[in-house]
Amino acid sequence: MKLLRLAILATWALLGCSSEADAKRALESSGYSHIELTGTRWFGCGENETADGFQATNPRGQQVTGIVCCGLAFKGCTVRF
């Protein structure tokens, strides 16, 4: 069981969020624009989450960088800085 869990986590770590569309949708729903996804990040999210970096314009018009963390199955994605 432990080996299976490790294999699943390794696969998700290599693939990033379930799709770029999920990460972009999370950012757009939070009011971000001019979104550029910058690839998989290895740190910054929880143990059972995947992470994609991004650069975007926040709702106040400022350029920001951060991470979109996507949980397993139905947990969804969150934006972190």
Q: What is the pLDDT of residues 6-55, one digit of tens each?
A: 555 555 555 544 567 888 999 999 999 999 999 988 888 888 888 899 99
* 25-29, 44-48, 58-62, 70-74: range with lowest mean pLDDT: 70-74
pLDDT of residue 16: 46
| pLDDT score for 17 | 44
**Would you say residue 66 has pLDDT above 90?**
yes
pLDDT above 80 (res 64) = yes
What is the distance between the alpha carbons of residues 76 and 20, in angstroms, rounded to a whole number? 13
| Distance spanning both ends of the chain, measured CA to CA | 33
C-alpha 17/C-alpha 20 separation (Å) is 7
* Element containing residue 66 per DSSP (H, E): strand 63-71
Name the residue ranges covered by the structural domains of the chain. Answer: 2-80
